[in-house]
Amino acid sequence: MDRAVVFDVDGTLVDTNHLHVTAWWEAFRQAGHDVMMHDIHRAVGLPGHDLIARLLPDGRDTGQDDGISAAHKTLYATYADRLPALPDAGRLLRTLAERGWTVVLATSASGGELAALRRAIDADDAITATAGADDVSEGKPAPEPVERALELAGVPADRAVFVGDTVWDMKAATRAGVLAVALRCGGIPQDDLEEAGAAAVYQDPADLLARLDGSPVAGLEQRLEGAPMGTRGPSY
C-alpha cells in the first residue's frame, strides 16, 4: 500500500465530544472554576493542558492543572464501556482498507481510553497503526500527530488524506501538508472547518461513505492510480 487515510477518533469515529465537554465542565467546577460548556466544546480536541490554558485566565493557579486534567480523565472513564461509534464508522474504515488505503488513527487518547475507543469502532482488522498521545511530544493543532501517523503508514504527505472533526484537526493536517476532510458530527460549524483548511465537509462517517466516490479521497486515489478523471468523482 502506498497511500493512507489518517483519522482522528473522538468526535470523528466515536460520538464522544459532548461526553468530554461534560467531564471537563465537572472537572473545572470541582476545582472552583465556572466555565461555559459552549467554550469547552470549541476547545475539545486540544491536549488537556492546552485546553485548560485556553479556557482559564492567564493568572490562574497553574498548580491546579494536573488535578483538573486527572479529574476529567476519571469522570470521562465512567463512560468507557458504553462509548457510541458514529454511524458506519467501522464500515468506512473497512471499505477504505479494501480499496487499498492504509488506515491509521491519530488521537490524543492513550492507554485504556484508546482501547475503549477502538472497541467502540470495532474495526481493528482495518486499522494498520495508531499514533496516540504517548507517541508525540506536541498535540494538535501542531502537525506532529499527523506526521507521526504518516511515518507509521510509511507514506509522504502528498499521498495521504486526514479526516477529523475540529478546527484543530484541520490545522494540524494542513500544517503537515496533508489534504484535510472534515466531519460535522463533532458539532463544529462548517464555515469554521473550511476556514481552518477543510477541502470538503461531510455530516458523519456514514455521509462520507455514501459519497466516497465523489470525495477528495477518491480524487487522490484517481491521481495516484493514474485513472482518467471523472471515473469515480471529481478531483480535489
Which domain CATH number covers 34? 1.10.150
- Considering the domain boundaries, does residue 213 fall inside one? yes
* 150 and 189 together in one domain: yes
Q: Report pLDDT for 92.
A: 98
* 116 and 162 together in one domain: yes
Between CA 76 and CA 91 the distance in angstroms is: 26
* CA-wise closest residue to 182 among 194, 174, 212, 172: 194
Q: Report pLDDT for 175.
A: 98
Band of pLDDT at residue 1, cut at 50, 70 and 90: low
* CA-wise closest residue to 152 among 132, 175, 170: 132
Domains in the chain: how many in total? 2
* 61 and 118 together in one domain: no
Which residues have CB under 8 Å from 21's CB, separation 6+?
A: 37, 40, 41, 44
Helix axes 65-77, 111-121, angle to 10 degrees: 30
- In 10 A of CB 67, how many CB atoms? 12
Residue 140 CB-density burial (10 A; 0-12 exposed, 13-18 middle, 19+ buried): buried
Mean pLDDT value of segment 101-107:
97
Residue 27 is part of which domain span?
17-78
Q: Which residue has the higher pLDDT, 133 or 77?
A: 77
Q: Is the pLDDT of residue 231 over 90?
A: no
Q: Work out whether the CA dihedral 215, 219, 225, 229 comes out positive or negative.
A: positive
Q: Report pLDDT for 228.
A: 45
* 70 and 123 together in one domain: no
Joined grid coordinates for residue 142:
501542531
Mean pLDDT value of segment 160-177:
98
- In 10 A of CB 42, how many CB atoms? 20
Domain end (from 78, 93, 112): 78
Mean pLDDT value of segment 144-161:
97
Write the DSSP symbol of residue 56. S
* pTM score of the predicted model: 0.94
- Considering the domain boundaries, does residue 236 fall inside one? no
- Relative to beta strand 179-183, strand 200-202 is parallel
Between CA 47 and CA 49 the distance in angstroms is: 6
- Considering the domain boundaries, does residue 95 fall inside one? yes
Q: Is the pLDDT of residue 121 over 70?
A: yes
* 168 and 132 together in one domain: yes
Q: Is the pLDDT of residue 47 over 70?
A: yes
Which of 22-31, 57-66, 168-177 bottoms out in mean pLDDT, i.e. has the lowest?
57-66
Mean pLDDT value of segment 3-31:
98
Write the DSSP symbol of residue 165. S
CATH classification of the domain holding 205: 3.40.50.1000
